[in-house]
Structure 1
Amino acid sequence: MKRYEYKVIPAPQKGVKAKGVKTAEGRFAVSVEQLLNQMGQDGWEYQRAELLPSEERSGLTGSTTNWRNVLVFRRVVEEEVDASWVGAVPEMDDTPLAQPIPGPEEVQAPKPIAAEADEPPLSLKRSDDAVDENGPSKT
């Protein structure tokens, strides 16, 4: 399915001078032609011209309705998607996406940090803040 984005711009109000064009209608046509070609080069496809009302303030408390001419363009945002792919499950090879988590029998305990041979392990060391059976140590 194709998806589009739209762009609406004001239509030209005055014609532009061009070689060989003498009338006001011809000059106006040249200005519209130049605008359409410029938008086409940017990838926009012309759709239509619209005459739309625009309510604008007039004075301190009033409002008036002005009619504006606009040009509507569109361009494709996404390319067409084949209907056979919608809802289809992609094919996968036999390569596992993740490695299995090892069980407790497969996990090896980390090796202890090398310490001096005559020093007891940290869990058996006595700290200065430790309390022995006679009460807290006094230093």
Structure 2
Amino acid sequence: MSARLAQFDSLLSRRRLARASTAAAPVAHVLRDPWGEPVAEFSRFPSDIELIKAAHRVHGDDWIGVLADEAQADKLNAPWRLALLRADRHGQARVSREVGPQWLGKAQPGRPGARPAELRRALCAAAVRQLWQSGWKLVG
């Protein structure tokens, strides 16, 4: 009798494990370029900066941040832009022929008293909007 109960118990536990393993996997979000090719996959909904880093293929030694665009300066007030500076990779072709920062998104005028974190968030959101307008998609 106890052998039958043990066998029944093992069948029940295997059935529970089978149900748990067939449970829905977490939904993956896939970033696709304008041509439909997958660029990155995220297990949770990505932040703006994560989307930008994936879309522009930012490596660990590249720098992304906020810089003043002095080429568009009006008197003493220069607009702020999200910039990407690529690290020098010896032996590899340059990603861009231009020297200096790669501007991501549109410029925003500097507001006196604005916090840097708020400015960075606003610039990242503008850069992501520009990605969507140019045909990038987040599927999933």
TM-score w.r.t. the length of structure 2 is: 0.18
Structure ranking higher in helix proportion: 2
> Which one has the largest radius of gyration?
1
Q: Which of the pair is proportionally richer in strand?
A: 1
